Amino acid sequence: GFEIEVADDGTIIPVAQGQTALEALRSAGFDIPASCEQGICGACITTVVDGIPDHRDMYLSVAEQEANDCFTPCCSRALTPRLTIKI
């Protein structure tokens, strides 16, 4: 697992092994827009402020993934113990 910090208000949310970041964010009360939940549509994209995402979507281009400044919480995870995002 890893944790997500929501930069907007400082909330820290643990993301368990068998759970998506989107599920963790939703159960913490953050209503993230999402559609496919499979990394295809891009609806769930959030901005990365700190940390390195483990991109698992097929929506972002390689260059966009390498920039590490956005993240699809429906399927992607983190390479760093904490990922700080802006919703």
Contacting residues toward ligand FES, per CB under 6 A: 34-37, 39-44, 57, 59, 72, 74
In which element (H, E) is residue 64 found? helix 62-67
**Rounded to whole angstroms, what are the CA distances from 4 to 18, 39, 47, 61, 74?**
15, 18, 12, 23, 13
Cβ pair 65, 55 in contact under 8 A: yes
Nearer to ligand FES, 76 or 84 (CB): 76
Nearer to ligand FES, 10 or 33 (CB): 33
Nearer to ligand FES, 6 or 34 (CB): 34
Closest distance of CB 75 from ligand FES, Å? 6
